[in-house]
Amino acid sequence: MTLTLAERVARTRLGPPSSWLRRNGAVVFVYLLVVVLYAVAASISPAFGRPENLAEILRQSIALGVVTIGQVYVLLGGGIDMSVGMTARVVGLGVAVTMGATTIPPILVIVLGLAVGAAIGLLNGVLITRIGATPFIVTLGMLGVLSGVALAITDGPTDVVPDFFFTMYDAAIGPVPIAVLVFLLIWAAAWFVLNRTTYGRNVYAVGGSADVARLSAINVHRTRTLTYVISGVCAAAAGIFLLSRSGVGDPGLGQGLEFSSIVAAAIGGISLYGGRGSIVGAFGAVLLVTMSSNIFDFLHVNGYFQQLVLGAIVLVGVSVYRTRGRQ
Amino acid sequence: MTLASPVSTESGSTEPLLELRNVSKAFGGVQALDRVNFTVLPGEIHALVGENGAGKSTLVKILAGAYVPDSGEVIVSGESHATLTPQRARAAGIAVVHQEFNLLSELTVAENVFLGMLPKGRLGAVSPEKAARLTTAILARLGSDLDPRRYVLQLSVVEQQLVEIAKALAGNARCIVMDEPSTVLSPEELKVLYAVLHRLRDEGRSIVYISHRLSEVFALSDRVTVFKDGRFVSSDNTVEMTEDELIRRMVGRPISELFPERVPSIGEPVLEVRNLTVPGKLFDVSVTVRRGEIVGLAGLGGSGRTTLARAVVGLEDVAAGQILLEGTRVPRSPGPCARAGVVMVPEDRKAHGIVAGRSVAANLSLPSLRRFSRAGVLSFKREQSMAARLIAQFGVRPASTRVSIHNLSGGNQQKVVLAKWFDTSPKAVVLDEPTRGVDVGAKSEIYAIIEDLSARGVGVLLASSDLTELLGVCDRIVVLREGRVAAELNRSDASEESILRAAVASGTSDEPEIAPQAPQSRTEKQ
Amino acid sequence: MTLSTAVDRSAAHRPPLAVQVVDWLSRYSAISTTVLLLIVAAIVTPTFYDETNLRTVAVQTSALGIVVLGQMVVLLVRGIDMSVSAVVAVTGVIATSAAGGGANIAISLAAAVGLALMVGLVNGLLITWRKVPPFIATFIMFIVVSGALLAYTKAQTSGSAPAWLRRVGSGSIAGVPLPTIIWIAMGLLLFGVLTRTIWGRYVYSVGANPEASRHAGVPVFAVTMSAYVLCALCALVGGLMYSGYSGYIDQNLGNNVNLNSIAAAIIGGVAFSGGRGGVLGAAVGALLLTVLTNMVVVAGLEIYWQLIAQGLVLIFAVAINGLRDRWIRDTA
Amino acid sequence: MVAALGLTGCAKEAGQESGGAKPEKVDGVSADLMADADVTVDTSKYKKDGPYTIAALTQGPFNGWGLTWDETVKYEASQNPDVGELLLLPSMGDADGQITSMENLVTQKPDAIMLNPQGRAALSASVSRAMAAGIPVIVCGNNVEGKKYVTYNDVDLYAVGYQAAAKLAERLGGKGNVILMHGIAGVDAAEAWKQAAEDAFAKYPDITIVGSEYANWSVATGKEKATALMAANPQIDGIWSGGSEMATGAMLAFDEAGKPQPAYGVDNPTNGFLRLAQEYGVEFDAFPDPPGTVAKACLETTLKVLKGEPVKKYEAIPAEGFNETNLDEHYVPELSDDFVGPLVLPMEAYIAAGLKRK
C-alpha cells in the first residue's frame, strides 16, 4: 500500500511520538521547583521539613487550590474568570450572616452558598457566551458588582460560625486533616472530569477551537457556560472554607484570589489562550505558591523582600520554558 | 460496533441520499446561493466544480450545519430539514472535511476522530484506550497504520486529512463532503486519497468532492455538477463530459491557454542558496536562481519545500549555509530582505498572507510603507494611487481600495498578496503554492504575473505541489526529498514521472516502487 | 418568485431596527453613556458642575487618560499591561527623592524614565522572546517592580510633591488645567502617529495578524517592544500628573490604575483581541470612568452602590460591544 | 443593609464568653473593653524560664505605621536580655497570609505569639487554635473576635475615633456641616472609627453630616473625594478623617480651591499630616493610634505573661489627644512624613531604619 510512503516521510521528519517531556515540560518543571524548594528549605529549617508541616502546607493550599480548579476549567475553555475572589467573599459572608440570623442547618446553608456561586458563574457564562462579551471585562465588572454586594452584606466581622465549620477545618485522621483528604479527592475528581468524561474533553476542544468544536456537534455555549458555573461553585466552596478557617466572616475574605489562581494556572502550564495544559501542573503550581509563603515564615524572610522573592519565583516558573502561543 | 459495517444499499434504489431543493443564501445583499438544486445518489463520487464565488463553500457550510439557508430545504434520506445544525447534520449521516482542517492540534488523533463523542469505558468514563483501539481499526480500513495516540500537531498534512476522513467514518457518515482536499496534497498523496475514496464508495457511501483541478474530476468522479455565480448550471455523468465543455460551463468561456507562452532570457545568478541546513528540516541544500529564470521546487509534503521558502527570507533558524542575493548575504528577516530585493509569498494565505480586518490598500502598502512616507509620516494620496494602480493591474475584484480584505474571494486575496510585493521591485521572488485554492481564471492570471516577473529579469523560485503547474511554468525544477536535493531537472528532462521518481526514491532498497501514474494527462496545456 | 427575492434582498440590506440601535449604541456607546451621565448629573446633582469639581474631573481624567493612551497601544498589539500601576508608583519615589533638597530634577527624571524604559523592555522581552502570555508577564512585572520599590524605599515615599511637579499638576493655561493640555497634546500626537505614520500602521497590522505582518516585513518584535515601552512611559507621565495634582506623594498612588486603564480602553471600544480601536474612544473611556467615579460621590451614593454601579457600567459597555460584534459576524 | 441590622440585633446575646458578641460602646468608650480592663488573667500556666523565643506577627513595613511598629519591636527585643529570639513575621497586610503564619507558628512552637491582627474576624479562629496548641497569644493594635487570647493591648480604637469627632463637634460649637472620610471599606479600623464618629456626631443634633466617603487611606484619593464633596456642599465647617491621610488630601483640596480651611478631627496623625497642618495653620484635634507605644507595651506584656505575672484581659494604652496648640510636641521634623509618633526609641534607631527625612 502506497500509504506507508506518506507515513514514512512523516516519521522521519518528526521522530517518535514520545515527545512526552516536551509536552509536559511545564508540569515537570513545576514539580521540580517544588521538590528543590522543599529540599533547600528543609535543610535550612528542620522544623519546616516535619511531616505535620507538609500536611499544613496542603491545608493552607486548599482555598487557592479549589479556586484554581475552577479557573483551570475556565482557562481551558478559552475564558478567564476575574470574579472568583469576590464570589468567594460574597458567599463566605452570606453564609456567615445567614448562620447568625437564621436557624437553617449549616449543611443547607452551605448548599445554598454553593448554589449562589453557581448562579454567579451562570450569569458570567451567559453574558459571555450568549452576548459574546469579552470574558476578562465581564468578570472584571462582576468583580466590581460583587465587591459592592459583599459590603452591602456586612462591613464588619460577622458572628462566630457554628462549631460545624470549625470541625470542617480541624478534624483530622492522625496528622492528616480531613479537609486535606477531601481537597485531594476534589482534585482527583477535577482531573477525572477533565480527562475521563465527554464534558471534560469537550472543554479542551472548545478552548482549542470553538469553530472546530461547533462543527463537531459540540454545544460550545453550554460547555463554556458550564466552566464558569464550575468556577463559581469552586470559588463559593473556597469562600466557605475560608470562613471555616477564620471562624468569623471577614469583609476582606478572598482578596486577590483571582490573580493568584490565574498565576498558579499559568505557572502550571495552562495556556491562557485555552485548550492546552494539565490540571496536574496547576496543582503543582498551587503547592509551589503556598509553599513559598510557608517558607517565608520558617526562614523569616524580611517583609520588604517577600514580594520580590515571590515575584522572582513566579518569573522563573513561567519564563524558563517557552509557552506556545496561539497559532 | 456499527462503525465497521458498510452502509446497506437497497438494491436498485435510486432514491437520492442527499438533495438540496431551491436553497438560497445571501450575505449582506450578495446572493451566494440562488435557488440551487443539487442531488447526490448513494454510492457515487460526485464532483462539484465552479470558479471562486460559485457558491461551493457556502453549500459546504450549509451541509455542515454552519450556515442556515435563507430559503429552500435539505433532504437527507427522504427527511427534509429547513436548517441543519452540526448535531443534525451528524445525525443525518453527513460529514464534512473542510478545506481548513477542523482538527485540534493539542489533542490526539483518537480524540479528534471521536471529538464530542468519545467512547465510554467502565464506570461511564470516557476511555482513551478504547478510542485509540477504534481509531486504529478505522485507520486500518483506510489503509493507514497511524498511531492514534499521536498529537495532531505532529502530523503531516496528508495524515491530518486521513484523520478528518476517519472522523467522518467514526460518525458512520453516509455522505462525506470534501472541500478541495487536493490543495494540500502532493500528487502521490492524492493517489492514496483516491484509493480511500474508492473504497468508501464501494462500501455504499457517497462522496461530494469539490475541486479546482479538472484533471482529478475526471480521474475520480462518477458525476459532476457545475455551479456558477451561486446558481446551479448542470449535473452530468463524468464520462459524458469533456474538459473543454466543463471549463466552458464553469467560466462561461473557453480558456485557450492556461499557461502563457514563454521565451526565457536567463542571466546571471541572482539568488543562491548554498549548503543550507535547517535542523531537522533541511540538510545541505543548494539551489541557484538566475535572473529571468523560473525555478520550480517540487517534493512531497514534508520534503522541505516550505521550509526552504521560509528560510530564504529569514523565517527559519538556519544552522549552516548561506543565502546570497547577487553575491551578498540576505538579511535574516522578511522586512530587510524585501528592501534588499528578495520576497516570499507564503503558502498559508489566511494565517500568513492577508491581514484580515484591514483594508485592501493597507494590505497592499504594508511591505512598502517607507516609499509612501517621509520621515515615517505617510502620504495617503500616494498610497491610495498606488493601491488603485495595483488593483487595476492585477484585476482585483471588487476594485476598491477601502474594502476589508477578508471580504474578498480567495483568488482575489491571493492577487493582493502577490501584488503587494510587486511594487517593491524585487530581484528575486519566492512563491509557495501561489495558486492554492484559486480558481482556473485566477490561476491563469497569476501565471501571467509570474511570467511577467521573469520577463522583467526577476528570478523566481516557485514551490508547488501541483506538478502540472511546475511543468507548465518552470525552466528548471529542483526536487526535494526529506530535506535534501534529490534531483535537478531541466525543462526538457522534466516530466511528472521523473519528478515523482526523484521525490519518492530512497536509498533503502525495500522501498515500494511507485508507479508514476500521473492523473490523466488531460491537462489544460495544449 | 422574482418579486419575493427582490424583497428578501432589500430586507437583507437593512438590518432590523433593534440591530441598528445596538450598532449605533455600541459604536458610540462610550460617548452616549457619558453624555447620558452628564445629563443625569445636571438634573440630579447640578453641583457636579462646580468649577473646582470640573477641574478635578478634568485633571483626574487627564492623568488616567494618559495612562490609557499607552494601555490602548498595548491592547492594539494584542497585549495587556498589568504593570502600569507599578510604574505610576515609581513616580512617587522619584518625586520624593527630587523633593528633598539637593537632588537634581533632571537626574531623578532621567532615573524615572530609565526605570520605565526597563519595565517596558522586560515586559516586551518576556512576551516576544519567552512567549509568556502578556497578562502573566506584566502581572509578574507588577509584583517584581512594586516589590523592588518596597525593598528600595522601605515604604518611605510619602511627602509633598516637589514644587515644579505641583506647578505642572495643578497649573493651568487659560483656565485649562496643564495635565489636560498635556493629555490632549499627547492624544493628538498619538492619534497622528497611529493614523499617519508607518509605526501606526505596523501597530494595527501586528494587532490584526502578527504572523501575516511578519511575513509582510513588519518588524513585529520591534513594534511589540515599542508598544510596551510606550505604555510604560505613558504610565510614568500619568503618574507624574497624579502626584503633581495631589501635591502629595502617597503609598497608594496608582492603586487602581491597572484595571481602570484597561476598563477605560475597552469601554472606549478598543478591541481586547487587538487591531481595533483608537485614541478618541480611549479618551472617552477615560472620561466616562472618571465622571462615574466622581458622580457617585457628588450624588452621595453608598459605597456599595458606587461599586455596583461601576461594575454594571463596565458589563454594559462590553455587552453592547459584544452584541455588535455578533451582529457583524452573523451578517459578514 | 438589612442583614447588617439583623446582626446588630442578635449581637447582644447574653454575655457568653464564646464570642459572637459585638463590642458594646457607651459614651465614647468600648464598654466591654473597659470591663476587661478589670479582669485579671492568671498567667502562671505560661510561666517559663527565659530567654524566650517570641514570635511577632505584624502588619508589615508597607507603610510608616507598620515600619514604626516593626522597628520598635526589633529594637526593644534586642535591648531586652529576656528575649532570646524574635521571629518577626510581617504579613504585608494580607490577612490570609497572616492566618497561614499563625498556622506555621503552631508547627514552629515559639514561647509566645504577639499578634497585630490583620483582621478582627479573619484571625479569630487562628488565635483559638494557637491557644489550644498551648501557645499564649498576646493581641495588640487591633482586636480579635472571640477573645480567646491571653490579653489584648491597645488604645481604645473606638474611643480614638469618638473623641476626634466629639472634639471637632465642640470646636464647631455643636453645629455646622461636617464630612466624614474613611479608610478602606470593610477594614476593621476604618469601620470602627466610622461607627465611633457617627455615634459621636449623633450626640450633636445641629451637626449635619453632609458627606461620608471612603478614600482608602490615600492622600490622592482623599483630595479627589474632598473636591467632589466640596462641589456637592458649598459650606463645609469640619472634616473628620478616620486616619489622617484623607485629612491631608482635604487640606490640599481646600488650599487649591482657595477656600478657607475647615476644622479637622483626625485619628492616627502621621508626621506628614502634622507638617502640613503646621504649614497651612489649620485647627485640628488629633487622637493617636501610636504604633511605637503599643508595640513596646505589647512586648512588655508578653514578657510578663511568660514570667507568669498577672495581666489584665485588656491592657489599656492611653491615647492623649492634642491639637494645633501643642503640635510642636508631636511633630518630628527630623523624620519622614510616613513616621507615626510619638517617639519611643532613640532617634538613631529610627534613622537607622530609614525613617530619616530625605
* CATH code, C159: 1.10.3470
Which residue has better confidence, B442 or B385?
B385
Q: Residue B68 carries which DSSP code?
A: -
The pTM of the full predicted model, rounded to 2 decimals, is: 0.85
Q: Give residue B184's pLDDT band: very low, low, confident or very high (50, 70, 90).
A: low
pLDDT at residue C287 in the model: 93
Percent of chain B whose predicted confidence (pLDDT) is above 90: 30
Residue B180 is which amino acid? Answer: E
* Closest C-alpha to C293, from C274, C267, C270: C267
- SS3 per-residue string spanning A239-255: HHHHHHHHCECCCCCCC
pLDDT above 70 for C330: no
pLDDT above 70 for C98: no
Q: What angle do CA C213, C215, C219 make, to 5 degrees?
A: 60
Q: Give residue C19's pLDDT band: very low, low, confident or very high (50, 70, 90).
A: low
pLDDT in tens, C116-125: 999 999 999 9
Q: Around Cβ C139, how many Cβ atoms within 10 Å?
A: 25
D324 touches chain C (CB under 8 A): no
Which residue has better confidence, B421 or D178?
D178
In the block, residue with C-alpha cell 510619602: C158
Percent of chain D whose predicted confidence (pLDDT) is above 70: 93
- B214 is written with which cell numbers? 479538472
D352 alpha-carbon distance from chain centroid: 25
Residue C58 is which amino acid? Answer: A
Backbone torsions φ then ψ of D115, nearest 5 degrees:
-120, 125
**Residue of chain D with shortest Cα separation from C159:** D337
* Closest C-alpha to B298, from B506, B92, B466: B466
- B397 is written with which cell numbers? 475584484
Instruction: Name the CATH code of domain D157-287 (choices 3.40.50.2300, 2.60.40.1180, 3.40.50.970, 1.50.10.20).
Output: 3.40.50.2300
Domain that includes residue C205, residue range: 16-331
Q: What angle do CA A285, A289, A293 make, to 5 degrees?
A: 165
Cβ of C198 within 8 Å of Cβ of B369? The answer is: yes
Does residue C198 form part of some domain?
Answer: yes
Cβ of B369 within 8 Å of Cβ of C201? The answer is: yes
User: Among A281-285, C5-9, C48-52, C278-282, which stretch is predicted with the lowest mean pLDDT?
Assistant: C5-9
Of A3, A13, A275, the CB nearest to B144: A3
pLDDT above 60 for A195: yes
pLDDT at residue A14 in the model: 40
Distance between B196 CA and the closest CA of chain C, angstroms? 35
Pick left, alpha or beta for residue B382 (phi over 0 → left; psi -120 to 50 → alpha; otherwise beta): alpha
Q: Around Cβ A197, how many Cβ atoms within 10 Å?
A: 16
* Cβ burial, residue B27 (10 Å; 0-12/13-18/19+): middle
How do the domains of chain D map onto residue ranges?
2-155+291-320, 157-287
Q: Residue B490 belongs to what H/E stretch?
A: strand B484-490
**Residue of chain C with shortest Cα separation from B340:** C217
Contacts of A204 in chain B (CB under 8 A): 104, 106-107
Q: Give residue A305's pLDDT band: very low, low, confident or very high (50, 70, 90).
A: confident
Q: Give residue B388's pLDDT band: very low, low, confident or very high (50, 70, 90).
A: very high
> CA-CA distance, A231 to A233, in Å (whole number)?
5
Do C191 and C280 contact (CB within 8 A), yes or no? yes
Do D73 and A269 contact (CB within 8 A), yes or no? no
Q: Give residue B29's pLDDT band: very low, low, confident or very high (50, 70, 90).
A: low
> CA-CA distance, C297 to D213, in Å (whole number)?
7
> CA-CA distance, B207 to B96, in Å (whole number)?
10
Do A125 and A228 contact (CB within 8 A), yes or no? yes
Query: D: neighbours with 3+ CB pairs under 8 Å?
Result: A, C
Of C8, C204, C215, the CB nearest to B358: C204
pLDDT at residue B117 in the model: 84
pLDDT in tens, D91-118: 888 888 899 999 888 888 899 999 999 9
| Domains held by chain C: number | 1
pLDDT in tens, B480-499: 988 899 999 998 888 877 88
pLDDT at residue D150 in the model: 95
The answer to whether domain D2-155+291-320 and domain D157-287 are alike in fold is: yes
Do C82 and C142 contact (CB within 8 A), yes or no? yes
pLDDT above 50 for B518: no
> CA-CA distance, D73 to D57, in Å (whole number)?
11
pLDDT in tens, D146-182: 889 999 999 999 999 999 999 999 999 999 999 999 9
Radius of gyration of chain C (CA): 22
Average pLDDT, chain C: 84
pLDDT in tens, C272-322: 888 888 899 899 999 998 998 888 888 888 888 888 988 888 888 788 777
Task: Indicate which of A57, A84, A250, A296 best probes the interface with D, i.e. most D CBs within 10 Å of its own CB.
Answer: A250
For residue C26, the cross-strand partners are none
> CA-CA distance, B412 to B418, in Å (whole number)?
10
Query: Which residues have CB under 8 Å from C167's CB, separation 6+?
Result: C178, C244
pLDDT in tens, D246-258: 999 999 999 988 8
In the block, residue with C-alpha cell 485548550: A275
Contacts of D275 in chain C (CB under 8 A): 160
- D109 is written with which cell numbers? 512552637
Average pLDDT, chain A: 87
pLDDT at residue A188 in the model: 96
pLDDT in tens, D191-210: 999 999 999 999 999 999 99
Do B503 and B479 contact (CB within 8 A), yes or no? yes
* Whole-Å CA distances, D127 to A239, D57, D145, D188: 20, 12, 9, 17
pLDDT above 60 for C3: no
> CA-CA distance, C162 to C153, in Å (whole number)?
18
- In chain D the first and final C-alpha atoms are separated, in Å, by 46
In the block, residue with C-alpha cell 467514526: B170
Mean pLDDT calculated for residue range D8-24: 39
Cβ of A311 within 8 Å of Cβ of C147? The answer is: yes
**A/C Cβ contact: 3+ pairs below 8 Å:** yes
In the block, residue with C-alpha cell 480558456: B255
Mean pLDDT calculated for residue range A181-203: 94
Mean pLDDT calculated for residue range A19-25: 70
CA torsion through residues D318, D324, D328, D330, sign: positive
Query: C: neighbours with 3+ CB pairs under 8 Å?
Result: A, B, D
User: Among the ranges A130-139, A222-231, B16-25, C262-271, which has the highest mean pLDDT value?
Assistant: A222-231
pLDDT in tens, B80-104: 887 888 888 888 889 988 877 788 8
Cβ of C155 within 8 Å of Cβ of D338? The answer is: yes
Query: Which residues have CB under 8 Å from C232's CB, separation 6+?
Result: C70, C81, C83, C84, C87, C116, C117, C119, C120, C123
> CA-CA distance, D210 to D178, in Å (whole number)?
6
Q: Give residue C10's pLDDT band: very low, low, confident or very high (50, 70, 90).
A: very low
- A281 is written with which cell numbers? 501542573
pLDDT above 70 for A6: no
pLDDT above 90 for A204: yes
Q: What is the DSSP string of A198-237?
A: HHHHHHHHHHH-HHHHHHTT--HHHHHHHHHHHHHHHHHH
Mean pLDDT calculated for residue range D280-300: 94
Which residue has better confidence, D136 or C2?
D136
Do C248 and D252 contact (CB within 8 A), yes or no? yes
B468 alpha-carbon distance from chain centroid: 14
Cβ of D7 within 8 Å of Cβ of A293? The answer is: no
> CA-CA distance, A267 to B397, in Å (whole number)?
48
Mean pLDDT calculated for residue range C108-137: 89
pLDDT at residue B412 in the model: 85
Does residue C230 form part of some domain?
Answer: yes
pLDDT at residue B52 in the model: 65
A143 alpha-carbon distance from chain centroid: 17
Task: Indicate which of B154, B317, B501 best probes the interface with A, i.e. most A CBs within 10 Å of its own CB.
Answer: B154
pLDDT in tens, C185-241: 999 999 999 999 999 999 999 999 999 999 999 999 999 999 999 999 999 999 999
**Residue of chain C with shortest Cα separation from A272:** C133
Do A76 and A134 contact (CB within 8 A), yes or no? no
pLDDT at residue D263 in the model: 96
Is this prediction's ipTM beyond 0.85?
A: no
> CA-CA distance, A150 to A98, in Å (whole number)?
13
Do C36 and C320 contact (CB within 8 A), yes or no? no
Q: Give residue B13's pLDDT band: very low, low, confident or very high (50, 70, 90).
A: low
Mean pLDDT calculated for residue range D280-289: 94
* Whole-Å CA distances, B14 to B39, B40, C211: 11, 10, 50
Mean pLDDT calculated for residue range D17-28: 54
User: Among A191-195, B509-513, C309-313, D115-119, which stretch is predicted with the lowest mean pLDDT?
Assistant: B509-513
Q: Give residue D7's pLDDT band: very low, low, confident or very high (50, 70, 90).
A: very low
CATH for the stretch D2-155+291-320: 3.40.50.2300
pLDDT in tens, B247-266: 788 776 555 566 777 777 88
Cβ of C304 within 8 Å of Cβ of A152? The answer is: yes
- D311 is written with which cell numbers? 495581666
pLDDT above 70 for C96: no
Assigned architecture for domain A5-10+25-40+51-326: Orthogonal Bundle (1.10)
